[in-house]
Chain A
Amino acid sequence: MANTTTKLHVIFGDGTLGVATEDVHYLFSYEKGGLESILSHGKEWLYRPIRPIFWRATTDNDRGNHFSEESAMWLGADCFTRCQAIDVQVDGEDLGLPIAPQNNQFSNDEMADRVDITFDFQTATTPATKVTMHYQIVANGKVTLTSHLQGNEALPELPAFGVQLIMPTVATGFEYDGLSGETYPDRMAGGSRGQYYVAGLPVTPYLVPQEMGMHMQTRWLTVTRQRTLNNADVDAQPFSLSVEMNDQPFAFSCLPYTAMELEAATHIEELPLARRTVLSVYGAVRGVGGIDSWGADVQPPYRLFADVDRTFTIQIHPGNHVTD
C-alpha cells in the first residue's frame, strides 16, 4: 500500500476528477456518473463505471411466483438509472461540481488528505427514488464506497441492492473470507466460514441460466487477473484488487456475466463467450425460496421490501487483502 503520509494528488479536469497516489489513480467521470477508472501500476480495473444495481437474474422460483413480473421496474432501473447530480468535497470543502470556469483556479499540484465525491441517481422506477453513491478517498489510496437507497413504500420488492464493477478481462480467480459454496439469505446454514479460493469464473450450469454464484457474509474478497486490454501491456504477472467489508459483511458474486446476460439466455450455450469479470457486491439480496416453483414466495425475512432505507459500505483498493 501507499505510504499513508503521502497526500492525494487531485486533478480537477473538465469532465473528470482525478485522484492519485503513488500506487493508484482514480478517475471519476462527471459525464458517465461514477468511478470509471482504477489504474494501479499500469493495470486498469474498470471496463465501465461502477454503478448501482437492483436486479439479480430471475430464478425459476421467481418466475413461478411472478416476482419478476411484480418487480420488473427494478430491471429497468438496473439498466437505465440516471445520474442527476454530482458533488465534490476536498478536505471537507464543498466545491459542488468543479468544472470550468470554477476549476480554472487550480494547478497541476493540487494536494489533499481527503476527497469525497457523491453521485446522486434517480431510479428509472415509478415513482422514482433516490440512490446515492458516495466515494471517500483518503491519503492511503483506499476508497470507501457508501451506497444508499431511499425507501419508498410505493415501489415493489427488490431483487437486490448493490454496486457493480465490470472488469475489462476475465479473472483467473478470486479468494474470499466468507461461507463455502453458493449461499443466499435463506440458504446459508450449510455454508462453513473460511477462506476460499475459486479458480476462474465458474458458471453454475442451471438448465436455464439464472441467478447464481452468490456468497453471503463476506468479510473480504480479492479478485486476480492476468491480462489487460492495454495493447502496450505485455506483462503477464497476476495483479489483484480487493474489496473489504466496512462495518458489516457483504454479499457478492463474481461471474463473467451481468444479470441481463443471464436473463436473456435460455441455455448455457447461448451465453456469450466469457470476456469480462462482473463483480457484483451487494448490501442486500433476496432469498431464493424453495417451498415450490409455481407460486410460493420467499419467506418474508428474506425478501427486500422497498419501504425502508438501505445503506451499505465497502472499501476498495488495488492489491491483496490486508489485515488492518
Chain B
Amino acid sequence: MNMQADIKWLDDPQVFRVGQLPAHSDHYWYRDADEARSKSSSFAQSLDGQWQFKFADRPQHRPIGFYEPNYDTSDFGTIHVPGHIELSNYAQIQYINTLYPWEGKIYRRPAYTMGSDQTGEGMFSEAPDNSVGAYIRHFRLAPGLRNQRVIVQFDGVEEAMYVWLNGHFLGYAEDSFSRSEFDLTDALVDGENVLAVEVFKRSTASFLEDQDMFRFSGIFRSVRLVGLPTVHVADMHIRPVVNEDLDSGELNVTLKLTGDLESKARVHLTVFDKADKLIVDEKRPVAKQISFGHLPFENVMLWTHHNPDLYHLTVTITDADADPIEVVPYDIGFRRLELRNQVIYLNGKRLIINGVNRHEWDAATGRTVSMADMKADLQTFAENHINAVRTCHYPDQIPWYYMCDQAGVYMMAENNLETHGTWQKMGAVEPSDNVPGSLPQWREAVLDRARSNYETFKNHPAILFWSLGNESYAGDDIEAMNTYYKTMDSSRLTHYEGVVRNRKYETSISDVESRMYASPAEIRTYLSNQPMKPFLDCEYMHDMGNSLGGLGEYMALLDDFPSYQGGFIWDFIDQALWVTDEVTGRQVLRYGGDFDDRHTDGEFSGDGLMFANRQAKPAMQEVRYYYGQYDN
C-alpha cells in the first residue's frame, strides 16, 4: 500500500472511501466463552480518552505533516475522544435546518449539478470555512492484540478524515455516521505507535449530510483497536425465515472467514432457544465462505414488540486441539414481515407503528450519547407505549440496534443522507441543483452509504424498514439505493418519503406511501382512493414547544383504514445544549443563534417529546394514552 493522501478528495464526490475495509456485520468477537458471557473482549482495546489536538480554522492553516512520528507537537492541545470539536470550544457551534451552514457566506453548488465541467475543484479543500482537527493518539498494543492483524475502528467521524499510523497513510473516509475501519497491521511497530487523524469539517459529504441538526465536526463516537485471531469471522449473514404457518421456519447462516484457512481449525455453529434448549449444532472445517442452509426450526418463538424472544446463536472457531480461537455470539430473532394487499403484516398481524423519530442527543455532549442515554430512552419508550423508532437521519451507534432487538422496538434504519438544501428553497420544490439526483458522479457515494447501513445492521431482527435517507428529492441514484436493498434483502421493506416529490419513481423507490406532516384529511383522501401502497407517516405531530394537539385524529385513521400503519412522531428529544448562563452562572439550555451563529433556525430543534435534559414534556401523557390504545 503506497497511497498518498490527497486533499482534493474533499472536493470530489467520487472519492469517499480510500483504503477502508469493506463494511461487514456488526458482531463482536471474543477469545472464549467466558469473555463472551461477560461481553469483555481481550481482542478489543479502546482508544477513547484524551488525544493530542490541534485546530486550524481552514485547510491552509493546518499543521502539514503532523502525522509524522517525529513531528513537533509541543503546540498541540488536547481534546476528549469521543466528542465534538465545537463542544470543546475550538470552533463555533451552529444550528441550522435545511439551508446549508455556509448560507450567505460562501456560494456553492454541488459538483456537476451546473454542468459536467463544473467539478467543484477547491470548493472544500481551499475553503475558509472548512476547519480542520489534527488528532494524535499514542498507544501500545494491549497483550491480547499482539501478533495479530490489527484494525482500527472509528464508529463516527464528522465529516471527512484521513488516517495515518506511524507516518504511513492508511486511508480516507466520509459518511460521518457509519463505522470506518483501517488495517494497521503493516504499519505497526513494537512499543509506541502514533495514530494520526486529520478531520475536515466539510467535503462533498457536506451536501449529503444536511440534516436538521447542530452542525458539528470531529471524532464523536468511540475509537478502538481490534485484533483478529488466526481464524476470524469477518462477516456473518444470518437469515432466519418464518414459514407461512407462523410455526415452523429455517435458519440460513453464511460466514465469511479470514486468516489461516488452511489450518485444521473448525467452525462450530450452535443455536439455543431462550430456555437453553439446543436447536442447532453444526460443525464444519474452515473455509473462506461457509453456508449453513435450511436449518429447520419447529414451534418457532416469534420476535414481536411485546415478546422479543431471541435465540442465542454462537459461532465458535476451534483449533486442532478443539480449543477456542474465537467465539462470536449473536442473538437472532424470527419474524415474518409481509406486504399483502397494501397492508404490512408482522407475524400475520397488521403492523401498527406507534413510533418516534430519534436523533442521538445529549444536552451536554451533543450527538455523543452514552449507554445511559440509550437505556433511558428505551425505558421512556416502554413507559409510553412507543414501539418503533426511525433512526433519523443516519445510522445510530451500534449498541442501539442490539438494544432495540432486545426491547422489541421496531426500527426504520435510515441511511446517512439528507440533501434538503439542494432541492427545497424557502418551502418550494426547486431541484435544479439537487444531489444525488440522477448524477452518476454522486451515485457511488450514496450507494456506499446504503451498503454500509445494510452490511453493518443486516442481522438485526428489529429492523423492519431500510430507509433510503431523508428529504433528498428523488432520482436515479436513490432508485439505485432501493434496487441495492431489494437485491440484498427480501426480508424487509424499503422506505423513502421523497418519492412523493417526484412521482416518476413511484413504483421503484419505496414500498410504502410515506409522507411527513400530512393532515389527517389528506391521508384520508389518499387512503380512500385505491391506494397503491400502505401509508405511514415517517414524520408527524411536530412536537415543537407546547404542541401535540389533535393526535386523536391520526389515531382514528387506524380504525378506518387497514392500510394506515401509523407513524413516527417528530421527534423524541429536543436538541439544545447546556451552557453556563453568562449573567447568572446557572446551567441553562441554549439553542441556535445563542452562539452568535448565523444563519440559524433558532429554536426549531426544540421539537421533542422530551426536553433536552430528558424530562418528558407535558404532551407525553397524550402519547402514552393514544399509543396505549393501539398498543400491539
Interface residues of A (CB under 8 A from B): 59-61, 64, 180-182, 184-191, 204-208, 210-212, 267-269, 287-294, 296, 298-299, 302
Q: List 25 A-B contacts (CB under 8 A).
A: A59-B547, A60-B547, A61-B545, A64-B544, A182-B619, A185-B549, A186-B550, A187-B548, A187-B549, A189-B622, A204-B617, A206-B546, A207-B591, A207-B603, A207-B612, A268-B589, A269-B583, A269-B584, A269-B588, A288-B547, A289-B549, A290-B541, A290-B551, A291-B517, A291-B519
Looking at chain A's contact residues, the main secondary structure is loop
- Chain A CB within 8 A of B392 CB: no
CB <8 Å contact, B625 and A189: yes
CB <8 Å contact, B589 and A205: yes
* 0/1 interface trace, chain B 496-525, chain A, CB 8 Å (1 if under): 000000000000000000000101100000
Knowing A60-B606, A205-B589, A291-B517, say if A299 contacts B550 (CB, 8 Å). Answer: yes
How far is B583's CA from A267's CA once the two chains are assembled, in angstroms? 13
The chain B residue with its CB closest to the CB of A63 is B545
- Chain A CB within 8 A of B623 CB: yes
Since A205-B615, A291-B542 are in contact, a sample of 5 more A-B pairs with Cβ atoms closer than 8 Å, ordered by chain A residue number, is: A190-B625, A190-B626, A206-B611, A207-B591, A294-B542
Question: Among the listed B520, B546, B551, which residue makes an inter-chain contact with A210, where contact means beta carbons less than 8 Å apart?
Answer: B546
CB <8 Å contact, A191 and B617: no
- Chain A CB within 8 A of B607 CB: yes
* 0/1 interface trace, chain B 600-611, chain A, CB 8 Å (1 if under): 000110110001
Question: Among the listed B546, B584, B604, B626, which residue makes an inter-chain contact with A59, where contact means beta carbons less than 8 Å apart?
Answer: B546
- Chain A CB within 8 A of B621 CB: yes
Residues of B within 8 A of A208 (CB): 545, 591, 603, 606
- Chain A CB within 8 A of B109 CB: no
Knowing A181-B618, A299-B553, say if A204 contacts B626 (CB, 8 Å). Answer: no
Residues of A within 8 A of B542 (CB): 61, 290-294
Residues of B within 8 A of A290 (CB): 541-543, 547-551
CB <8 Å contact, B590 and A212: no
Question: Among the listed B548, B586, B589, B621, which residue makes an inter-chain contact with A180, where contact means beta carbons less than 8 Å apart?
Answer: B621
CB <8 Å contact, A293 and B590: no
CB < 8 Å A-B pair total: 129
Residues of A within 8 A of B543 (CB): 290
CB <8 Å contact, A190 and B544: no
CB <8 Å contact, A60 and B549: no
The chain B residue with its CB closest to the CB of A209 is B545
Question: Among the listed B550, B576, B615, which residue makes an inter-chain contact with A302, where contact means beta carbons less than 8 Å apart?
Answer: B550
- Chain A CB within 8 A of B552 CB: yes
CB <8 Å contact, B603 and A60: yes
CB <8 Å contact, A60 and B546: yes
- Chain A CB within 8 A of B574 CB: yes
Residues of A within 8 A of B624 (CB): 190
Residues of B within 8 A of A191 (CB): 621
CB <8 Å contact, A60 and B550: no
- Chain A CB within 8 A of B442 CB: no
Knowing A60-B603, A187-B622, A268-B588, say if A204 contacts B546 (CB, 8 Å). Answer: yes
How far is B553's CA from A298's CA once the two chains are assembled, in angstroms? 12
